[in-house]
Chains A and B, each alone.
Chain A
Amino acid sequence: MQGGADPEVQGKRMAFEEAEAALRAWMERSLDPVVVHRAGRVVFANQAVAGLLGYGSAAELLGVSVIDLTHPDDRERVRARIQRMLTHQEPAPLVEERFLRRDGTAVPVDVLALPIVFEGKLSILVSGHDARERKWLEAEKQRLFEEQARLGAEAQRHAAELQAILDHQLAGLIVFDRTGRVTMTNLATAKLFGSQASELGATLEEMFAKVRPYRPNGQPYALDELPSARAFRGEQTEGDNLTVADAQGNDHYLSVSASPIRDEEGNVTSVVSVMRDVTEMVEFDRLKDQFLRVVAHELKTPVAIMKGYAQLLLRSPEEAASRRMLEKIDRGADRIDRIVRDMLDLSQLHLGNVTIEHEKVELDAVVDRIAQEMARSFERHQLKLSARPVVVEGDGDRLGKVVGALIDNAVRYSPQGGRIEVTCGPRRDEAVVSVKDEGVGIPADKQARVFERFFRAHTDTPNDYGGMGVGLYLAREIVRRHGGEMWFESREGIGSVFSFSLPLGGER
């Protein structure tokens, strides 16, 4: 000092000291770590630095070597930076550096450094910011990004797997979104409708315009009758039969089901439609019925020959033993004939081309005739017949067969004998016929299937008395084609009552 004479110099000094005091006060209060060092030693440190580096107070850091506070791997770089700053008198850019805490662990800090005059001497101010949070956030961001990428890849893989699974399904599948556009489909669908018709984004209307499905009877479907259209209206459909022509013009028979998918509020958000190509089954079924028909037809002439010659021989005088044998041949031929006719009815009913006559039928007379006829060959059974006059419209021969089938069953399944009770008459606006037996009955667990084609409740049981398993099926089908219905009640060991009703057919 030169005696403080110059008031201008004195004023500047005071201003400078005030500024430094302000800087010091700010640095001490700063929440970020601040250090000033000179000639490699710490000359100022704030509480934030002490806290960051694990020192009890800022004072403990004074005089400590800056290089000693730096992570050994970063020391060379720090020395060079300091050198550069002092030489060029300019701040150093923001960098991340690792400092050593008192316990020897490293802590990353984002630091800014600049040369300043402090306590009247060229020093370096280092301001830092704990980088751990930033680094953690960056790492977290990276982790989230990678996780997202992983999930994305996984979702893509799952979608690819799902598509592969769907493509390997034999059933066609289409998913429509709420606007009626295709959002998912599979190979089977593309094969059925052509890949263009069912491509993603196509609408139900567009598909319909290209595919033009029709019913088994040849009637075209209307757009809003389609299973998918009905599913959009909230309906669950199953097993609708659609016929479509494929790209090659071949007809395919489809069994189609469609389901609405709803959100939490119950609104239909999409529709899933599944279609099974049943062409082969339908074709096979048709061939089977055709075969049955041909076989039955082929049997008719030989049966006619057997029966005819047996009857012819019976016309000439024969001894009693021969007559009995010829009668048995004749009756055997009759039985074959009945089986043949059942087979024919079966195939014809199934092919849907059975012709039912529409005549006035005195049902009581039919019941009476059939029951009396059959009672002639009863050996252990007694017929109790009560037929009140009733007229229906329909096919007398076929209704006779229905009555015959019920009586035949009643006899067949009451081998110990007993009463066969046949009733016929009007009941309200219907004609009702019932046949009751005291036979073996039908086990409860078999009752639901009694009217199924080829179902035989007593197959392979001691109560198996033969038959093709078609009698009740045929009987009910014939009744239904007359607008009537057939039902039964049965208890095992007690007996069964089979009944059918027909609409009344007017006056006699």
Chain B
Amino acid sequence: MSGTAAALDRVASVLVLDDDPDLLDLVAMVLEMEHFEVRCAKNGTEGLASVAAAGPPDLVLLDLKMPVMDGWEFARRFRARYGEAAPIVVLTAADDARKRAAEVRPAAWLSKPFDIDVLINTVQRQLRMRSEAG
């Protein structure tokens, strides 16, 4: 049983955006094993549709380079519509990951490939900070 979910009194939801289905599956499996509610989107447009349908998640895991609508545009529109409703954690393969990620002003960033322990720790830490702040 995850401490984070307990701290939130309910199952925390994470929206994962990545255009690679295998990677999307991996992240979803990892987070589900940690008892998160996972929503998946293959690009920014799908991501925004998911948010519109189910409301903002507790955290967004965002790939930057995606077709149709990329991560930068998603972040801009998400913030414009929902403000700081959820922390955004950038997950990118960009070689200048840190610099590119900074353009989105993320709560945290991970560069691909990543250790799944690091992924889990990052997500949990962000949610904990959010719940403590809130």
Structural contact, A301 and B95, CB atoms closer than 8 A: no
Q: Which residues of B contact A303 (CB under 8 A)?
A: 112-113
Q: Which residues of B contact A456 (CB under 8 A)?
A: none
Structural contact, B93 and A300, CB atoms closer than 8 A: yes
With A301-B20, A301-B23 as known contacts, state yes or no: A308 contacts B113, CB within 8 Å.
yes
- For residue A309, which residue of chain B has the nearest CB? B26
Structural contact, B96 and A305, CB atoms closer than 8 A: no
Inter-chain CA distance A306–B115, complex, in Å, is 11
Structural contact, B20 and A305, CB atoms closer than 8 A: yes
- For residue A299, which residue of chain B has the nearest CB? B93
Number of A-B contacts (CB under 8 A): 57
Inter-chain CA distance A474–B99, complex, in Å, is 20
Structural contact, B99 and A355, CB atoms closer than 8 A: yes
**How close is B109's CB to chain A, nearest CB, in angstroms?**
13
Task: Judge whether B103 is part of the interface by a CB distance below 8 angstroms.
Answer: no
- For residue A296, which residue of chain B has the nearest CB? B95
Interface residue range, chain A? 20 to 34
Inter-chain CA distance A348–B98, complex, in Å, is 14
Task: Judge whether B49 is part of the interface by a CB distance below 8 angstroms.
Answer: no
Task: Judge whether A27 is part of the interface by a CB distance below 8 angstroms.
Answer: no
With A301-B23, A333-B113, A337-B113 as known contacts, state yes or no: A312 contacts B95, CB within 8 Å.
no
Task: Judge whether A297 is part of the interface by a CB distance below 8 angstroms.
Answer: yes
Identify which of residues 287-316 in chain A touch chain B, using a CB-to-CB cut-off of 8 Å. 293, 296-297, 300-301, 303-309, 311-312, 315
Q: Which residues of A contact B113 (CB under 8 A)?
A: 300, 303-304, 306-308, 333, 337
**How close is B92's CB to chain A, nearest CB, in angstroms?**
9
Q: A301-B23, A308-B27 are in contact. List 20 more A-B contacts (CB 8 A).
A: A296-B95, A297-B95, A300-B93, A300-B112, A300-B113, A301-B93, A301-B112, A304-B114, A305-B20, A305-B22, A305-B23, A308-B26, A308-B113, A309-B26, A311-B116, A315-B33, A333-B113, A337-B113, A348-B95, A355-B99
* A contact face: mostly helix, strand, loop, or mixed: helix
With A308-B26, A308-B30 as known contacts, state yes or no: A297 contacts B94, CB within 8 Å.
yes
Interface residue range, chain B? 20 to 34
- Binary flags per residue of B1-32, CB closer than 8 Å to A gives 1, else 0: 00000000000000000001011001101100
Q: Which residues of B contact A355 (CB under 8 A)?
A: 96, 98-99
- For residue B63, which residue of chain A has the nearest CB? A301
Inter-chain CA distance A307–B22, complex, in Å, is 12
Task: Judge whether A422 is part of the interface by a CB distance below 8 angstroms.
Answer: no
Inter-chain CA distance A315–B33, complex, in Å, is 10
With A301-B112, A309-B26, A312-B26 as known contacts, state yes or no: A344 contacts B33, CB within 8 Å.
no
Inter-chain CA distance A307–B113, complex, in Å, is 7
- For residue B18, which residue of chain A has the nearest CB? A301
Q: Which residues of B contact A305 (CB under 8 A)?
A: 20, 22-23, 26
Task: Judge whether B132 is part of the interface by a CB distance below 8 angstroms.
Answer: no
Some 30 contacts from A to B, beta carbons below 8 A apart, are: A296-B95, A297-B93, A300-B113, A301-B20, A301-B93, A303-B112, A304-B93, A304-B112, A304-B113, A306-B113, A307-B115, A308-B113, A308-B114, A308-B116, A309-B26, A311-B115, A311-B116, A312-B26, A312-B29, A312-B30, A312-B33, A315-B33, A315-B116, A333-B113, A337-B113, A341-B95, A348-B96, A353-B96, A355-B96, A355-B99
Identify which of residues 102-120 in chain B touch chain A, using a CB-to-CB cut-off of 8 Å. 112-117
Count chain A CB atoms within 10 A of each CB in B20, B26, B27, B94 and give the residue with the most. Answer: B26
Q: Which residues of B contact A353 (CB under 8 A)?
A: 96
Inter-chain CA distance A446–B94, complex, in Å, is 36
Inter-chain CA distance A320–B23, complex, in Å, is 27
Inter-chain CA distance A309–B115, complex, in Å, is 10
**How close is A302's CB to chain B, nearest CB, in angstroms?**
8
- For residue B92, which residue of chain A has the nearest CB? A300
- For residue B33, which residue of chain A has the nearest CB? A315
Inter-chain CA distance A297–B64, complex, in Å, is 13
Structural contact, B117 and A311, CB atoms closer than 8 A: yes
Count chain B CB atoms within 10 A of each CB in A309, A355, A357 and give the residue with the most. Answer: A309
